[in-house]
Amino acid sequence: MHKLLLVLLMLTGISINAQDPEEDYVSVADTTYTVQIDTSSIEVAKFPPNFKSKYSDADFEYDVQPEELNFWDRFMAALAQWLRSFLDLATEESSMNIASNIVRLIAIAIVVVVVYMIVKMVLNKEGKWIFSPPRKAIRFEDAAADVKNADFEKLVADSKRLGEHRLTIRYYYLWMLQQMAYRGIITWDAEKTNSDYLREIGNEDQRSRFSYLSYLYDYIWYGEFPVDEKTFNKAVDAFETSIRSLR
């Protein structure tokens, strides 16, 4: 009997506690919130006209296209590839360096050849080498062309009167060859060189004199520089002495 009453009391307490669960919570149904309304004017932002033009530079180009190779780049790439295969090189960089060095050497060689040809054309005269004159073939394009019949005494006098020192020495030299041919010491031929005539001279003194006068002629006529009076007069005396000995 007592146990039954105890059970009933326990059940009654649980029921009382479960009847009003809302007593433990605060009701928010009657709570009022204040919302502040923004009444300030709003200006709609607009992009300036042509604003895109400010961003048209390469710095803003994000869709980068690969640069197209020109003819020279393709040639260098092909040369480097061939060298890499031919020389069994390890990297593309080493083959490209070798290709660049080869092209550079070829370019230098071409420049040297071109400069050499220009200098040779400027400095050479009638087949003369830049640094040392070769044997000179005596060719005639003036009044002395007909050596056998030319009046060199008159030609020398005219050139002296005009102050043409180099031309005067030229006429003296041809005059000497004319007289040597008359004496049978040499055989005149416009295609012969000084060395050819020198080999024809049998007399040692005449050969020595001809060698010296040929040197004076080459020095003055082919030297292409102004001849001072002292050098000119010395050459004139030497040629006149030789010509008088041949008459």
pTM here is: 0.44
Q: What is the largest CA-CA distance in the chain?
A: 187
User: Which phi and psi (to 5°) does residue 124 adopt?
Assistant: -70, 150
Report the phi/psi class of residue 67: left, alpha or beta, with left for phi > 0 and alpha for psi in -120 to 50: beta
179 touches 203 (CB < 8 A): no
Radius of gyration of the chain (CA): 56
pLDDT of 161 reads 92
pLDDT of 208 reads 92
- Distances in whole angstroms, Cα of residue 112 to Cα of each of 132, 176, 244: 20, 42, 50
Helix axes 229-246, 204-221, angle to 10 degrees: 150
Full pLDDT tens readout for the chain, 247 residues: 555 555 555 655 545 454 455 555 555 555 666 777 777 777 777 777 776 666 666 666 666 566 677 888 888 888 888 877 877 777 878 778 888 888 888 999 999 988 888 887 776 544 444 444 444 443 444 555 678 788 899 999 999 999 999 999 999 999 999 999 999 999 988 888 888 999 999 899 999 999 999 999 998 888 877 888 998 999 999 999 999 988 7
Distance separating alpha carbons of residues 68 and 40, to the nearest angstrom: 57
pLDDT of 237 reads 94
Distance separating alpha carbons of residues 157 and 155, to the nearest angstrom: 5
3-class secondary structure, 193: strand
pLDDT of 1 reads 53
pLDDT of 99 reads 80
pLDDT of 77 reads 84
Report the phi/psi class of residue 57: left, alpha or beta, with left for phi > 0 and alpha for psi in -120 to 50: beta
Question: Can you say whether the dihedral through the CA atoms of 184, 189, 192, 193 is positive or negative?
Answer: positive
pLDDT of 126 reads 42
